[in-house]
A and B are shown apart, each in its own frame.
Chain A
């Protein structure tokens, strides 16, 4: 399997993991391990002064091969995203950033105008920008031209587990992109991830489907295998689809 390269860094795993919605940090850490991921997203929150809770970061940074990917969740426009990015770089010591600007809390759909604007500004400020975006091929080309390290189009709205609802547009994005395409949001089952990878997506980002599974550790392993299987199938080259039957056994009449 070919290695994934983003901004010059090699990744053996083509599965990124989000850290939201796990019932506890220990379970999250075990799921990270089972997934084989080398890229993990984290959000930011304001500290509470009397909060002595378990430190999330120690559960992630115990794996030395993991690239931390802070996100900008909670910002409503490009200006807030730039501020959040600067806070993230300072707090986590990385210039990698999952840019997400989704002002609408009901569907959490990314704001394309503000996302493009923020990408342009953040690239100039030296960030490695991985923007979460609409499955819009034209927008994805603009993000690429603005210097994004990847594009991360949605398969379906965040946390819905609906699968590749934007399949036809994802296919166009994959065909046209010269930077890695990470299918993000809406992937609800390993079969969805395998399907995206078979289409030629470079990577999948999964959170909810693993975190809320009956057994998140087993599900993380299932996604690990699905992403590998899908990628291998893509690299092997899938057989052509045909409308008429194509015999796979000889049709010679041997019974009479």
Chain B
């Protein structure tokens, strides 16, 4: 299945956000994930099913004032 992660088309075998997080080795804290511009809390990742063409945004901390 192909999805968009931060505007980059990516092939994934993940069926859920939790599986995607494992596939990407996302850290256990310091990141947030949104699907279709809706933030998905970490405790809902395992029940959140991904679909073909899903638009996923993943953010982390950056330096800033």
User: A residues touching B (Cβ–Cβ < 8 Å)?
Assistant: 18-22, 25, 28, 41-49, 55-57, 70-71, 73, 83, 86-88, 90-93, 158-159, 205, 207-208
Interface residues on B, range: 20 to 34
**Closest 9 A-B residue pairs measured CB to CB?**
A43-B64, A18-B65, A207-B65, A45-B62, A91-B32, A90-B32, A87-B32, A46-B6, A86-B39
Partner of B8, one of A45, A49, A92, A208: A49
From 51 to 65 in chain B, residues with beta carbon under 8 angstroms from any chain A beta carbon are 57-65
Measured between C-beta atoms, what is the minimum distance from A110 to chain B in Å?
13
Inter-subunit contact A47/B41 (CB<8 Å): no
Measured between C-beta atoms, what is the minimum distance from B22 to chain A in Å?
14
Give how many A-B residue pairs fall within 8 Å (CB-CB): 94
Measured between C-beta atoms, what is the minimum distance from B34 to chain A in Å?
6
Measured between C-beta atoms, what is the minimum distance from A235 to chain B in Å?
27
Measured between C-beta atoms, what is the minimum distance from A193 to chain B in Å?
15
Given contacts A20-B63, A47-B31, A56-B63, contact A83 B6 (CB under 8 A): no
Given contacts A87-B32, A91-B32, A93-B29, contact A49 B24 (CB under 8 A): yes
Inter-subunit contact B65/A19 (CB<8 Å): yes
| Nearest A residue to B6, CB-CB | A46
CB pairs A–B below 8 angstroms (20 shown): A21-B63, A41-B64, A44-B60, A45-B59, A45-B60, A46-B6, A47-B6, A47-B58, A47-B60, A49-B5, A49-B10, A57-B30, A83-B39, A86-B32, A87-B34, A87-B59, A91-B29, A91-B61, A93-B29, A208-B65
Inter-subunit contact B39/A92 (CB<8 Å): no
C-alpha gap A41/B63 in the complex (Å): 8
C-alpha gap A96/B63 in the complex (Å): 17
C-alpha gap A247/B19 in the complex (Å): 79
| Nearest A residue to B27, CB-CB | A55
